[in-house]
Amino acid sequence: MLLNVALFTFVAAKCGYSACHPTKEGVINVHMVPHSHDDTGWKKTVDQYYYGSNNTIQGGGIQYTLDTVVTELMKNPERKFVFVEIAFFAKWWAEATEHQKQETRHLVENGQLEFLLGGWCMNDEAASHYTAMLEQNGLGLQWLRHHFGECGRPHGAWQIDPFGHSKTQAELFALMGYDSVFFARMDYQEYNQRSKDRAIEMIWRGNDDFPQSRDLFTGGLVDTSYGPPGGFWFEGFSVDPIIDNEESDEYNLPQRLNDFIKQIQHYQDQTHPGNIMFTMGSDFAYYNSIMYFKNMDKIIYHMNRLHGDKYHVIYSTPACYTKARNEAQQKWTVKSDDFMPYSNGPQGQYWSGYFTSRPGFKGYVWDTNPVLQMCHHMNLRGGNALENRGDLAEFKLASAFGVGQHHDGISGTEQEHVVSDYTRQLHRGRTACRDITNEVLEKDFEASKGAINCEYRNVSICADTETAKEFTVGVYSPASHAFHYHVRVPVNGSSYDVTNQVGEKVPVDVVPVSDNTKNIRRNRGFAKNELWITAKTDGLDFATFNVKETSDGLDFATFNVKETSGNDVVTSLTGDSNMIENENYKISFGSLGVESINGMPITNELLYFNSSQGYGQNSGAYIFRPNKTDPFIINAKPSVEITKGSSVEFATVTWGSWASQVYRLWKGENTVEVEWSVGPIPVEQKCPWDSKQTCKWGKEVISRYQTAIKSSDTQGRPTVWTDTSGRNKLLRTKDHRACFNLNTTDAETGVAGNYYPINSRIAIEDDSNLFSVLVDRAEAGGSMREGSIDLMIHRRITADDHRGVDEPLMEPGQFGDGLMVRGRHFLFLGKSGSLDDKPMEEKILMKPQVFLYPGQTFQTKSSPLLTKTLDPQLKIILVSKHFGMFNNGRDVVIRIEHLYQVADKAGNDVDIDLTHFLANFQAHRAKEFMAGGDVPINHFERFSWSTGELYEKKSEKTTCELEKLCLRMSPGDLKTVVLEGDWNN
């Protein structure tokens, strides 16, 4: 195989830790770290930032930064520079001259140019799902491995700008083999407390079930800033340079060194003694890097010459700083919670609005993940037949998806023209991947040609199916397991027969397109009805369903639920016409919408907060600051309509012209589907202080679930379980933080300070019951009172919050009057401690990809990529070519996870035979890699840190060993395995 040498053989070089300049004992070592923080989109698009165009918005040009940095580093072998965003570096590398590439390779091998983090971008930690974090980091790390080998590998993470930090992100960095992470943004109250204790650096426990092995040295940057110390911002002539010519009237060396020493002491007062780090750079810095390097050269020379008895100043990197900290053998405190939500000051400065900002784009990014996974699978299947077209399509989408995870991307904190560019790049990548998918479907599954993709089926728009009398629906499932999916197809017929690929009839329902859907699509579609097909799909397989219109009429019953003066529910029919039900749930409805689930009183209201604006801190793309702690109800008496079909029963709750919900119960399902539709959010209303005036007032819309669950702690404070980036979970307590005393006298803390990022699941429970809500995109969520769950689903803000984006979050939407968004929640009600909703997480994340073949019917063959049914305790996150297009190889990388954590006290060990794990592939060799897929786990050992704790090392004897092509998966495991072998095709 071509990759054997590249993957499994490593040559030592003078880079990484071995390239660090030596430190000294008995003095303060000052590590000067030259860097540039380069957003992959924010106020400008990726290309605008790279090329330096559209400078009326913001300056900076990454191509010039890299050009000048390489030139300056070559002048002095002592100089260093760290670079982070591989999306930019790969773009520069593609345009660099061969001479520039040779110089760059030399600098990397000499440890002068060091890559940090190594991701395609610096991803967000609130809205990015952990699988997407792994995807984008793996893309960057494997690009670095291919182009620079061992010396291209980062030793630590650099999350300096994301607006809060996830516990799971720390775990992932540990699993990638990193020794440290550094960031700037820490809640001001936690920072104040830690800085007094000289504890802004700590050991962060990424997973409580795996102490030490998933711990990470974590550094909060001094003054919560990733810029240089005050007075030493050497760019753009903003400060005086170091003038060491004693003959000059401008000579200022003594004063500038004195200023420098004051900054050293300021930094040392907040950290453990012996070492400090000066981050010498900031946003889009070093576009003329001679200014920084020339002045830093002078500082280093003169400080060591004149003050070397107290200070030792060196060019350094975060990795070298981490090494120095580790060698000092100091004892560190341990942090086991996260850094969410982040506030940078009192009186309403909580950055919890971006957990929901731009929900349409958040949904589109999430919706792209299963497309990308399908693309990985199809490129793997297609092999040589696709030549390099599969690699190019896969890379195009992976690149766009990776950039989309940026902390000013999926976060929703970019300008409007930038989110349009993100969306355009994602669409191009999706189109390229669907093209190569169609080729493979035709070859491997004997599918027909001419497949189309209707991306607006969720609002009943698809011109081809609206006019077709017969057509075929193809469904590819990128999920690991068999699921029943419910496919919505816009039609104009009233009755259809649907058969699967073996000729069996499948359950269907035809229902009228609702008025709420018509309000959303307006003049863009003319389907009268929706055909719902219950499609059973196997994991990593393709299935087809033939659809033919028949002459039968619609077969469903509709009931209107109304209120009487006595508040009793009456309907147009007797019996259970105010109720929908299936095998697992009975849900009753009344004048306020849902009233009970399985006999438990449960309500769900669509409410909104008015945004604070015009006084003090505004709400905006980043900040959530309601102007009152209690929200307003959209409509005190929503209308309710119940519809019952053969495979689904649903209730439509309409709160007004711009907000509605549909509760669906499908036969056999153990969750309740709640489809919500919100927008355009009205922003004009009568001014509270003058009813004759009209004010534009932003609104933040929430879905509030109120149950009878006793979810308070012993002190009466509401508690709620939230996920951490979609993987693990944390128990949150209202108005409380585990690591510092939260100031609850600040009124805004009561709401915004209790909203957390939700990426998969939020839940409340007591001794008897558990109620959880699963989401289909990142949302803000919390619990304001006992038994309640809030989820913020949309927001439209008329003011800017002055955090840099310089634009109100108005989102014009398709028609210019405001964005309309449709999403889904999935409700689960069970016994306390139940984990029966866990498999639903994969079903939501890996939703099937639908292909439509209008005017034709045909049957396909089944051809699953997995040779055996995967154990239900496991799920596959990734199956793809290893290194993809970078090495043109045929080895396979598999990222697989145990469904349960050790703390869940569920699940057991599962052994997998990898020899014939994949169809048409025989494995000969397997190695476990770091989570980024770039190096084997036995390539090096991570640093150990002293915390004063004692750990019991667990060792189990097993006959299941990778050398024997057997993979053991235990609770809490997330493993990345590379298979070498032969393909039969």
302 lies in some domain: yes
Name the pairing type of β-strands 215-220 and 180-183.
Answer: parallel
**d(Cα 516, Cα 641) in Å, to the nearest integer?**
12
Neighbours of 905 (CB within 10 A): 10
* Nearest in space to 198 (alpha carbons), one of 281, 270, 150, 273: 270
pLDDT of 568 over the 50 cut: no
Q: pLDDT: is 589 or 888 the higher one?
A: 589
* Nearest in space to 726 (alpha carbons), one of 606, 969, 538, 901: 901
Q: What pLDDT is stored for residue 6 in this prediction? A: 35
Q: What does the block give as tokens for 528?
A: 């009268």
Q: What does the block give as tokens for 912?
A: 């997998």
Q: Which amino acid is at 410?
A: I
| pLDDT band (50, 70, 90) for residue 559 | low
Question: Distance of CA 313 to CAs 240, 244, 257, 297, 700, Å?
Answer: 20, 17, 12, 10, 50
Number of domains in the chain: 2
Q: What pLDDT is stored for residue 561 in this prediction? A: 61
Q: Are 356 and 778 in contact (CB under 8 A)?
A: yes
Q: pLDDT: is 59 or 830 the higher one?
A: 830
Q: Are 350 and 343 in contact (CB under 8 A)?
A: yes
931 lies in some domain: yes
Q: What pLDDT is stored for residue 569 in this prediction? A: 29
440 lies in some domain: no
Matching residue, tokens 């760019």: 235
**d(Cα 142, Cα 651) in Å, to the nearest integer?**
49
Q: pLDDT: is 408 or 238 the higher one?
A: 408
Considering 335, 359, 383, which residue would you say is the last residue of a domain? 335
The whole-number average pLDDT for the span 380-394 is 90
Q: What pLDDT is stored for residue 974 in this prediction? A: 98
The whole-number average pLDDT for the span 955-979 is 93
Q: What pLDDT is stored for residue 744 in this prediction? A: 76
**d(Cα 193, Cα 221) in Å, to the nearest integer?**
14
Angle at 923 between CA 918 and CA 926, to 5 degrees: 110
pLDDT of 570 over the 70 cut: no
**d(Cα 144, Cα 124) in Å, to the nearest integer?**
21
Q: Which amino acid is at 355?
A: F
Q: What pLDDT is stored for residue 615 in this prediction? A: 84
DSSP line for 148-186? HGGGG--SSEE--SSSSB-HHHHHHHHHTT--EEEES--
pLDDT of 869 over the 70 cut: yes
Which candidate in 161, 187, 421, 891 is catalytic?
161
φ, ψ for residue 193, nearest 5 deg = -70, -45
245 lies in some domain: yes
**d(Cα 809, Cα 792) in Å, to the nearest integer?**
15
Q: What does the block give as tokens for 772?
A: 């959880």
Q: Are 683 and 698 in contact (CB under 8 A)?
A: yes
DSSP for residue 803: S
Q: What pLDDT is stored for residue 564 in this prediction? A: 32
Q: What pLDDT is stored for residue 563 in this prediction? A: 42
DSSP line for 396-425? HHHHHHHHHTBTTTTTS-S-HHHHHHHHHH
pLDDT of 574 over the 70 cut: no
Residue-range definition of the domain harbouring residue 933: 874-983
The whole-number average pLDDT for the span 190-205 is 96
Q: What does the block give as tokens for 409?
A: 């991307």
789 lies in some domain: no
Question: Distance of CA 544 to CAs 340, 502, 857, Å?
Answer: 44, 9, 9
Q: What pLDDT is stored for residue 553 in this prediction? A: 66
Q: What pLDDT is stored for residue 12 in this prediction? A: 44
Q: What pLDDT is stored for residue 514 in this prediction? A: 92
Q: What is the CATH number of the domain that holds 45?
A: 3.20.110.10
The whole-number average pLDDT for the span 227-243 is 93
| pLDDT band (50, 70, 90) for residue 555 | low
741 lies in some domain: no
Q: What is the CATH number of the domain that holds 976?
A: 2.60.40.1360
Considering all CA atoms of the chain, what is the largest pairwise distance in Å, rounded to the nearest integer? Answer: 101
* Nearest in space to 762 (alpha carbons), one of 826, 698, 818: 826
**d(Cα 869, Cα 406) in Å, to the nearest integer?**
35
**d(Cα 310, Cα 304) in Å, to the nearest integer?**
9
The whole-number average pLDDT for the span 342-363 is 96
Q: What pLDDT is stored for residue 558 in this prediction? A: 62
**d(Cα 263, Cα 256) in Å, to the nearest integer?**
11
Considering 291, 313, 335, which residue would you say is the last residue of a domain? 335
Mean pLDDT, rounded, of the chain: 93
Q: Any catalytic annotation for residue 161?
A: yes
**d(Cα 795, Cα 619) in Å, to the nearest integer?**
10
Low-confidence winner among 172-181, 234-243, 777-786 (lowest mean pLDDT): 234-243
Considering 288, 312, 335, which residue would you say is the last residue of a domain? 335
Q: Are 348 and 616 in contact (CB under 8 A)?
A: yes
Q: Are 923 and 308 in contact (CB under 8 A)?
A: no
**d(Cα 484, Cα 495) in Å, to the nearest integer?**
21
Secondary structure (H, E, C), 564-633: CCCCCEECCCCCCCCEEECCCCEEEEECCEEEEECCEECEEEEEEEEECCCCCCCCCCCCCCECCCCCEE
Q: What pLDDT is stored for residue 985 in this prediction? A: 67
Neighbours of 135 (CB within 10 A): 27
* Nearest in space to 800 (alpha carbons), one of 812, 790, 809, 787: 809
pLDDT (tens digit per residue) in 451-503: 999 999 989 999 999 999 999 999 999 999 999 999 999 999 999 999 999 99
- 685 pairs with which residues across the strands? 695
952 lies in some domain: yes
Q: What pLDDT is stored for residue 248 in this prediction? A: 98
Q: Which amino acid is at 692?
A: K
In the chain, % of residues over pLDDT 90: 88
Output 943-948 pairs: Cβ under 8 A, ≥24 positions apart. Answer: 943/179, 943/217, 943/322, 943/323, 943/326, 944/212, 945/203, 945/215, 945/217, 945/326, 945/332, 946/329, 946/330, 946/331, 946/332, 947/203, 947/215, 947/331, 947/332, 947/333, 947/334, 948/331
**d(Cα 199, Cα 193) in Å, to the nearest integer?**
8
In the chain, % of residues over pLDDT 70: 95
30 lies in some domain: yes
